[in-house]
Structure 1
Amino acid sequence: MQAIWQGLEEIFNDIEVAFLETKKRYPKEVRCKPGCVDCCYALFDLSLAEAALLYRDFSRKPRGVRREIMRRVEKYEKEWLRKKPTVLNPFVISAIKIRCPLLNDKKRCELYEARPATCRLYGIPVLIAGETFVCGYSGFEPGKSYPTVYFDKVLERLAALSDKIAPDGSKVRVPLPAALRGRFPGVQFLA
């Protein structure tokens, strides 16, 4: 698994560079700061590689912290069932806001170092399936051209790492609650 962790570190470093370069060029537009948690209310799933990293780091937390996170997972799942739309696609799901179970009461992520690519990119322009998304609190103006991260390319890199974990791992998408429970669809040895 060491190769997976190194691969994720490379991807996350590239994202950090893109984020910092964008913030440097557009300091008024990138408004991310400590205490802002808008990104912690976005729904998304994880690549198998990201899910494995989250589970590894979650498993290393003290028992009390894990128990508190799992309490929030149960609340998250109930809220999802209440808000779940009849049509599921990324654009419909992105409009649903549910608090991430990793966000603690001090407005800090319990697994910040292992946070997925989606969390790391939130706040700068990202192109997903041909459509650009930005944080609602950012100052990026609609219709203007800005440097954009092509999220499909990030997903391709994550998929390549996921294939190293399991056959067809690139096709596996893991919901956050399943990742924290160590339940990876179609993957026997990690579960």
Structure 2
Amino acid sequence: MQAIWQGLNEIFTEIEKAFHETKKRYPKEVRCKPGCVDCCYALFDLSLAEAALIYREFTRKPRGVRREILRRVEKYEKEWLRKKPAVLNPFVISAIKIRCPLLNDQKRCDLYEARPATCRLYGIPILIAGETFVCGFSGFEPGKSYPTVYFEKVLERLASLSDKIAPDGGKIRVPLPAALRGRFPGVQLLTQ
């Protein structure tokens, strides 16, 4: 698994670099700051590699923190069942706002260092399925050209890492609650 952790670190380092370069070039448009939690209400799933990292870091937290996160997971799942649309696609899902179970009452992520690519990219323009997405609180103007991260390329790299965990692991997408519970259908994780 060491190669997986190293690969994730490389991807996350590149994402951080792209984020900081965009923020440096467009400081008025990138409005991310401590206490802003809009990204913590966006729905997302995880690559198998990201899910394994989340699970590993979750299991390293003190028992009380783990219990509190799992309490929030139950609340998250109930909210999802209440809001789940009949048709699932990225555009419909992006409109649903549910508090991430990793967001604690101090408006901090309990697994910030292990947060997935989606969270790391939130706040700068990203391209998904030919459509550009930005944070609703950003200052990026519609129709204007900005540096954009091609999310499909990030997903391809994450899939490649996931393939090293399990056959066809790159095709597996893991919901956050399943990752926190260590439930990966058909996959035995060794998270050392």
Q: TM (normalized to structure 2)?
A: 0.98
Unaligned 5+ segments in structure 2 are none
**Residue 138 of structure 1 aligns with which residue?**
138
Aligned residue for 2:176? 176
* Identity across the alignment (%): 90
**C-alpha deviation, 1:187, in angstroms:** 1.1
Partner of 2:86: 86
Q: Which residue in the other structure is 1:120 paired with?
A: 120
Question: Could you tell me whether the CA contact under 8 Å between 1:85 and 1:92 is conserved in 2?
Answer: yes
Q: 1:1-191 alignment to 2 at 5 Å?
A: 1-189=1-189
Name the CA distance, whole Å, in 1 between partners of 2:189 and 2:154: 25
Tell me by how many angstroms 1:190 deviates: 5.4
Alignment coverage as a number of residue pairs: 191
Calculate the aligned-residue CA RMSD, in Å: 1.0
For the Cα contact (< 8 Å) 1:183–1:190, is it kept in 2?
no
What is the alpha-carbon distance in structure 2 between the residues aligned to residue 190 and residue 84 of structure 1?
Answer: 32
Task: For residue 63 of structure 1, report the CA deviation from its aligned partner.
Answer: 0.2
Runs of 5+ in structure 1 lacking a partner? none
Tell me the CA shift for residue 188 of structure 1.
Answer: 3.2
